[in-house]
A and B are shown apart, each in its own frame.
Chain A
Amino acid sequence: MRINNKIQGMIEKPSQWIDPKGPYSEIVFSTKVRLARNLQNHRFSISSTSDEKERIFSELVDDMSSVDTFNNGYLFDMKKLSSLEKEFLIERHLVSYNLCFKSDNSGAMIDNKEKVSVMLNEEDHLSIQGFACGLQLFEIFDFLNLLDDEIGMRVEYAFDRDFGYLTTSPENVGTGLRASAIIHLPALVITREVERIVRKMRKKNLFMNGLYEKSNEVKGNLFQISSGVSFGKTEGTILNLVTEGIKDIVKAERDAREVLVKNARVQMEDKIWRAYGILRYAHLLTSDEVINLSSAVRLGVGLGIIRDVTLQQLNKMLIYVQPGHLQLFYGKKMNDYERDQERGRFVKEILSFEEKR
């Protein structure tokens, strides 16, 4: 299998943000800030022609290549990537599905630490995104804001005094900012309190949904929380709203964990060790299985019950067991059965379990 050179370079090392250094990283898997920007003298993507988008793409790449952030970074033209390579980038949360499969003349510029990814020609001309592990929305905004200034000096942003940064969707106009996080809430799910939390957040204009939500089933107890409309507020207000919301949720999750430890310690430990056992000894693993099992193991690590697995290993595992990563890592296309087999083996490698077969 031929793999794009730059993708090949990324496969070996995980994104920097999987390192669980940030605050509350035992519950907050990652945080992200996005700034939506458009060019003044062009139509938005939905109403521009393919030629126009091609020009916009090359203008943006041309102007942004001199920004320091992208030194030794990656530039991807989506036309030139295979669908497996696109899936790989989506699995890393660096780009969106729409950018890869629903947009024309689109691409992305990513720095070499994978802290920043700028999507080009998605819904908006520029989607400037920053990532970190744990609750670090303000920290992300600090470096994203500087990057935004750097880009803004090179291209003319569509901006209006009354409306702020002009975007394709009315929800994004204003600051163009969306703050979001992926959070792991096993205890709130077990105690059935998560519904209450979702409603409480909704009242604060924060939106929560399952990260891998399919037919109303949340996989791996992972949720995404994000800010709503970005107009009429300052960046700081929005970041603060989401930060405080997440702190509330973290507190609720910790309280729920305490209740579980107090009232159902044996059942909980049983669940955790069963999950650990399957990850450690099973030969065939589907990605849904790994996502669900790793939730229990993550809870075990968070409570200090499991000590020979780290959060970093679990974070890496969540990304690398997905189909795109698995196949590119092993450099071959695989069917479902072959994938489950390699995944079974790979999980043991990531978690540094010795192979016992």
Chain B
Amino acid sequence: MLCEICGKEEGRIKYTKVINGEKIEFYICEKCAKEKGFLSLIAESEKDETLKENKDIHTIECSFCRKKWIDIERDGKFGCPQCYSTFRPFISKLLAELNGGEKHKGKIPIVDKQILFLKRKIRETKMALDDAIDKEEYELAATLRDKIKSLSIKINIK
């Protein structure tokens, strides 16, 4: 099938365009895709087009917050940190369009993974402890309390 835009090259990429709520599929060549498709994804003037190669981007959903790209485009807000991985290529383009930057150039956080790990452990253990006390499992509660104590000591040594 020839590209439905230029009619010259072979239309290898399937695009889905939603026009007035109706889904229209068509095939275009790579050149036209570059020229029209991907960039119009970001352009504010045209609301309805989008698409990634062979995949309807409207159906991709972030597994953590359940947001779809269409929600993000509409609200201009992401739902969670994981959205950035889920929609990575689209976000790269969006950011490039917003300000021309390509990559983060600023500060990088100082992270002590070990301490953060211990902290998370303590928090989880505390929740288990509350639970044990609620259920009157005092033996378990005592063990958990000791565990919290030893985890706290480890943090202080670090």
Chain A residues with CB under 8 Å of chain B are 38, 40, 42-44, 46-47, 59, 63, 123, 145, 148-149, 152-171, 173-175, 177, 205, 228-235, 237
Whether the pair B92, A47 counts as a contact (CB closer than 8 A) is no
Whether the pair A231, B119 counts as a contact (CB closer than 8 A) is no
Given A63-B119, A153-B115, do A166 and B78 touch, yes or no (CB 8 Å)?
A: yes
The smallest beta-carbon distance between A190 and chain B, in angstroms, is 35
Question: How far, in whole Å, are A45 and B101 apart by their CA atoms in the complex?
Answer: 26
Q: Interface 1/0s, chain B 111-140, versus A by CB < 8 A?
A: 110011001000100000000000000000
Whether the pair A164, B106 counts as a contact (CB closer than 8 A) is yes
On chain B, the residues within 8 Å of A162 by CB distance are 88, 92, 103-104
Given A44-B79, A168-B78, A169-B77, do A232 and B95 touch, yes or no (CB 8 Å)?
A: yes
On chain A, the residues within 8 Å of B84 by CB distance are 160, 163, 166, 173
Which of A148, A156, A167, A234 gathers the greatest number of chain B CB atoms within 10 Å? A156
The smallest beta-carbon distance between B92 and chain A, in angstroms, is 7
Whether the pair A228, B99 counts as a contact (CB closer than 8 A) is yes
Given A44-B78, A169-B77, do A233 and B101 touch, yes or no (CB 8 Å)?
A: yes
Whether the pair B98, A171 counts as a contact (CB closer than 8 A) is yes
On chain A, the residues within 8 Å of B112 by CB distance are 153
Give the residue of B65, B104, B115 whose beta carbon is less than 8 angstroms from that of A44: B65
Within 8 A of A (CB), among B55-107: 64-67, 75-81, 84-85, 88, 91-92, 94-95, 98-107
Other than A44-B80, A47-B66, A232-B102, give 19 A-B pairs with Cβ distance below 8 A: A43-B80, A44-B81, A47-B65, A47-B80, A63-B119, A148-B107, A152-B111, A153-B115, A165-B106, A165-B109, A169-B78, A170-B78, A174-B101, A174-B105, A175-B107, A229-B99, A230-B106, A233-B105, A235-B107
Question: How far, in whole Å, are A47 and B110 apart by their CA atoms in the complex?
Answer: 27
Question: How far, in whole Å, are A177 and B105 apart by their CA atoms in the complex?
Answer: 12
Question: How far, in whole Å, are A202 and B122 apart by their CA atoms in the complex?
Answer: 49
The smallest beta-carbon distance between A125 and chain B, in angstroms, is 10
Question: How far, in whole Å, are A169 and B94 apart by their CA atoms in the complex?
Answer: 12
6 contacts between A and B (CB under 8 A): A42-B80, A160-B104, A228-B99, A231-B99, A232-B100, A234-B106
Given A168-B78, A232-B99, do A157 and B119 touch, yes or no (CB 8 Å)?
A: no
Question: How far, in whole Å, are A231 and B97 apart by their CA atoms in the complex?
Answer: 11
Question: How far, in whole Å, are A64 and B60 apart by their CA atoms in the complex?
Answer: 37
The smallest beta-carbon distance between A155 and chain B, in angstroms, is 8
Give the residue of A155, A173, A205 whose beta carbon is less than 8 angstroms from that of B95: A173
The smallest beta-carbon distance between B157 and chain A, in angstroms, is 15
Whether the pair A47, B79 counts as a contact (CB closer than 8 A) is yes
Question: How far, in whole Å, are A347 and B154 apart by their CA atoms in the complex?
Answer: 57
Whether the pair A145, B80 counts as a contact (CB closer than 8 A) is no
Whether the pair B110, A153 counts as a contact (CB closer than 8 A) is yes
On chain A, the residues within 8 Å of B77 by CB distance are 44, 46, 123, 168-169
The smallest beta-carbon distance between A237 and chain B, in angstroms, is 8
**Residue in chain A with minimal CB distance to B110:** A149
On chain A, the residues within 8 Å of B66 by CB distance are 47
On chain A, the residues within 8 Å of B119 by CB distance are 63, 154
The smallest beta-carbon distance between B83 and chain A, in angstroms, is 8
**Residue in chain B with minimal CB distance to A177:** B106
Whether the pair A163, B91 counts as a contact (CB closer than 8 A) is yes
Closest 9 CB pairs of A and B: A232-B101, A164-B104, A175-B106, A158-B81, A47-B79, A43-B80, A229-B99, A47-B65, A152-B109
Whether the pair B107, A46 counts as a contact (CB closer than 8 A) is no
On chain A, the residues within 8 Å of B98 by CB distance are 170-171, 229, 231
Give the residue of B67, B79, B94 whose beta carbon is less than 8 angstroms from that of A170: B94
Question: How far, in whole Å, are A106 and B64 apart by their CA atoms in the complex?
Answer: 22
Question: How far, in whole Å, are A156 and B98 apart by their CA atoms in the complex?
Answer: 27
Q: Is B153 an interface residue (CB 8 A)?
A: no
**Residue in chain A with minimal CB distance to B97:** A170
The smallest beta-carbon distance between B151 and chain A, in angstroms, is 15
Give the residue of B81, B111, B123 whose beta carbon is less than 8 angstroms from that of A59: B123
